[in-house]
Homo-oligomer: A and B are copies of this chain.
């Protein structure tokens, strides 16, 4: 692929283009702003698989009427430490923003709290969902199920979603956040490998015949493997229970059946489902005076190990690089985003950056 197939834009231009495309597809200002921000944050952090690459999926979900772009989330307190934010079949970023505001208050009061974010279409990076909480000095855990793409340990059929989980802990230097699919490989990475004609990593999954393969297109048709064998499979199972069963939302197989009833799984964007968010306040766990220095000394020791790689380090380096060099996108994707923004969808006002 030659350099002419790529384009470099500023992060602000990327955000404006995503915003325009979302507005044209029917998003109100709050949804367009929040969704554009999470997609561009992924680009800023060097994670193309969760950046503008996902925008056409969100637009498809809006255009086919599966998702709405203008639902005001409903907030209900279920217990002193639990809040439900009903996204009413909207895109996830704006309801998640509302959930963060609520859970931050609850966590500071109760020490630990949970938000059941329901009826949302989640299709973006999870670390972005918790980073603002970590920036406020809170710890957080978040997870979401998806549609069936991963074979449970021992099986060779799709059942679990790719089921990402992110965990964040505040530190004096920007916090530690990891975000990982419980699939061995993120589905977005397989899609990009297939697009770019590259092989999938070893152990990424099986083809439709149930046999291991390195062909990303065959794995996308077959089943992905969980990371780390039965232990990663357990994490995927935990995510189904927390983001599905616990909060009355579809598990991945259920979301898959709902999607199948609408047609092809990957043509109409992310399914309707839930997100479980837990936040905790380290000031309320018995070492209010000491935990920040304790974290700093722990990470100093960890970073001193030869060869060690810490979650998020690559993202932080990319963020600095992209701020300087701009966002690099496949030209075809950029044209698609710009074209989506230029389309006048029925009932939406022209894009107005504000």
Chain A residues within CB distance 8 Å of chain B: 76, 78-82, 84, 109-114, 116, 118, 139, 152-157, 159, 167, 169, 176, 178, 180, 184, 227-232, 234-235, 237-238, 240-241, 244-248, 251, 253-254, 278, 280-282, 284-287, 290-291, 294-295, 298, 301-302, 305-309, 311
Contact = CB atoms under 8 A, between A and B. Distances in A.
B247 A286 contact: yes
A324 to B, nearest CB: 26
Nearest to A238: B167
A307 B295 CA distance: 43
- In the complex, the 5 A-B pairs of residues with the closest C-beta atoms, listed nearest first: A228-B228, A248-B287, A79-B111, A82-B111, A81-B110
A178 B234 contact: yes
Given A112-B278, A285-B114, A307 B180 contact: no
11 contacts: A78-B284, A79-B112, A110-B110, A156-B307, A167-B238, A178-B234, A178-B237, A180-B234, A231-B232, A235-B235, A244-B294
A290 B154 contact: no
Identical copies of this chain, number: 2
Nearest to A276: B285
A97 to B, nearest CB: 20
B80 A286 contact: no
A81 to B, nearest CB: 4
Contacts of A230: 309, 311
B153 A308 contact: yes
Given A80-B80, A153-B308, 14 more contacts: A76-B286, A78-B286, A79-B281, A79-B284, A82-B110, A84-B286, A111-B114, A112-B113, A112-B114, A114-B285, A139-B241, A176-B237, A245-B298, A246-B285
A286 B118 contact: yes
Contacts of A278: 112, 278
A302 B112 contact: no
B282 A112 contact: no
A261 B337 CA distance: 61
Contacts of A298: 240-241, 244-245, 251, 253-254
B237 A152 contact: no
B81 A113 contact: yes
A229 B231 contact: no
Contacts of A246: 139, 169, 280, 282, 285, 287, 291
Contact of A237 (B247, B305, B311): B311
Contacts of A116: 285-286
Contact of A157 (B113, B227, B253, B306): B306
A158 to B, nearest CB: 9
A114 B240 CA distance: 22
Contacts of A247: 285-287
Nearest to A110: B81
A145 to B, nearest CB: 11
Contacts of A114: 111-112, 280, 285
B240 A155 contact: no
